[in-house]
Amino acid sequence: MSAEALSAAPEQEDKPPEAKPAAAKMSDKAADKPSDASAVGEKPKKQRRPSAKALVREIEERIGHTFKNPTLLKTALTHVSALKPSQNRTDSYQRLEFLGDHVLGLIVSDMLYGAFPKADEGEMSKRLADLVRKEACVDVAKSLGLHENIKLGTVGAGVGARLRNSIVGDICEAVIGAIFLDGGYDAAEQFVLRNWTERMRRPVRPLRDPKTVLQEWAQGKGLPTPSYREVERTGPHHDPRFRVAVDLPGLTSAEGIGSSKRAAEKAAASALLSREGVSGGKDA
């Protein structure tokens, strides 16, 4: 800028900066300083768990039955490992599972009789075995989210995946038993119809020799060929009964009974497959 320009420019007075009000200063400091909550890293609040009544209503909506006696549902979902020392095994799902297993068999048999009027006894037996097997019950239980509601104790919570699947299938049958006791045959039938009709319409799976299925499963796990041993023979010579055990390394033996060694071996293989949650091991 030229000297003339500088001289022509009006002189500006040096004014001291205006003092801010005390409230403004405090707000500036508050903006610069992190809040106490953020400074200490406040954790987000945990979501409240639903009340027991709310959880029961949620489960009832999923299974499609409102219990007049909700204790039955609670018992059906309680594993023996969750019982208190003052309780006994009858307060777990086991008795309801026994009942539900037979109720399921009856209802599915009735469904098959009406749905396949030209099927003979052999075909209906195969279809029945396929529909009430443990794997089918596990599928239904998981589709309804029941596996998320099983009450397990410390021991039960540490079970392996195979045993847990077995428990899930048992729980499904226990729920059927609970519905039957609470609402009668009609209520149980409606539950089974909703969850088994589509499965019933599927083509029946060919049934395979359980000994073959077990051997293939063992090989897939890197295990040796299963070994069978006679545990006991009873009955007269013309009508013997054999009890046979099947052994695989790392697994508890399973036993089966039959009128011949071959039949007992197949029963033992089927029992081990069922316990391990392996499908396809039903004898034809």
Alpha carbons within 13 A on the beta-carbon side of 214:
29
Residue 272's SS3 state is helix
Residue 53 CA to residue 62 CA, distance in Å, equals: 14
Backbone torsions φ then ψ of 149, nearest 5 degrees:
-115, 5
Q: Is 101 a catalytic residue?
A: yes
- Give helix 134-143 / helix 121-132 axis angle, nearest 10°: 50
- Residue of 97, 130, 170, 173 with catalytic role: 173
DSSP codes joined into one string, 112-140: HHHH-TT--HHHHHHHHHHHHSHHHHHHH
- Residue of 101, 182, 265, 276 with catalytic role: 101
Count of residues making up the chain: 284
Residues known to be catalytic:
101, 173
